[in-house]
Amino acid sequence: MTDAAVEHRAAARAFTERVRGVAPSAWDNPTPCEGWVARDVVRHLTEWLPAFLSAGAGVQLPKGPAVDDDPVAAWVAHNDGVQALLDDPSTSGRTLSNPHLGEMSIEQAISMIYIPDVFIHTWDLARATGQDERLDPDRCARLLEGMRKMDGAMRGSAFGPQVEVAEDADVQTRLLAFTGRRP
């Protein structure tokens, strides 16, 4: 099993717990992502990666139900497809090509872009739906360190302006603030 498979399984497990914990009436609750409701977080994750993998590597993930019809089943189908891709030994030899990222393995692309997205959006979904907002502090620290190295490239496209927090804030608060969220 690759590192990407292990990383994905851990990040997706936490997100799946939050998805399953959303009360039916809470799917239209606003999230910290401006203009998004809870179901839009699931929509985002289930829509951008399949298009990215299809365009860059010719990979077709299985399609689940529409997010508007059943956000839980849509997420589970998507998540199972991503995990199966990462668990498949033949994936390790496949390359993804992207005009912004260049060429890299599928696992590298998923590890670099998608898994952090799932991890951060776990907090967004939890915040929107009144669930446990705690994120793994070790993963927060690793992610924050890596993101700081790419701040200039990420700031305009993926994140809004960094939010000021106290210097002694915990690592989760610092990570969320770095990504423009108000913890």
- Full domain range(s) for residue 183: 135-183
**Please, are residues 103 and 95 in contact by the beta-carbon 8 Å criterion?**
yes
Residues 100 and 117 placed together within one structural domain of the fold: yes
Last residue of a domain, one of 90, 106, 131: 131
Residue for token pair 């399984």: 9
The helix (H) or strand (E) run that includes residue 109 is helix 106-109
Residues 67 and 140 placed together within one structural domain of the fold: no
Residues 48 and 100 placed together within one structural domain of the fold: yes
Return d(Cα 64, Cα 81) in angstroms, integer.
9
Residues 145 and 120 placed together within one structural domain of the fold: no
Residues 6+ apart with CB under 8 A from 54: 60
Residues 94 and 169 placed together within one structural domain of the fold: no
Query: What counts of helices (H) and strands (E) characterise the chain?
Result: 8, 2
Residues 115 and 173 placed together within one structural domain of the fold: no
CATH at 21: 1.20.120.450
For 3-39, b where at least 16 C-beta lie within 10 A, e where not — what string?
A: ebbebbbebbebbbebbeebeeebbebebbbeebebb
Local structure of residue 110 (DSSP, 8 states): I
Residues 19 and 98 placed together within one structural domain of the fold: yes
Residues 33 and 63 placed together within one structural domain of the fold: yes
Last residue of a domain, one of 95, 113, 131: 131
Report the DSSP beta bridge partners of residue 163: none
How many structural domains is the chain composed of? Answer: 2
Residues 143 and 105 placed together within one structural domain of the fold: no
Residues 6+ apart with CB under 8 A from 5: 83, 86, 87, 107
Residues 19 and 101 placed together within one structural domain of the fold: yes
Q: How many CB atoms lie within 10 A of CB 54?
A: 12
What pLDDT is attached to residue 161?
84
Residues 42 and 60 placed together within one structural domain of the fold: yes
Residues 6+ apart with CB under 8 A from 11: 115, 118, 119, 122, 139
Each residue's pLDDT tens digit, 78-135: 999 999 999 999 998 899 999 988 999 999 999 999 999 999 999 999 999 999 999 9
Each residue's pLDDT tens digit, 6-54: 999 999 999 999 999 999 999 999 999 999 999 999 999 999 999 999 9
Residues 119 and 146 placed together within one structural domain of the fold: no
Last residue of a domain, one of 131, 146, 172: 131
What pLDDT is attached to residue 116?
95
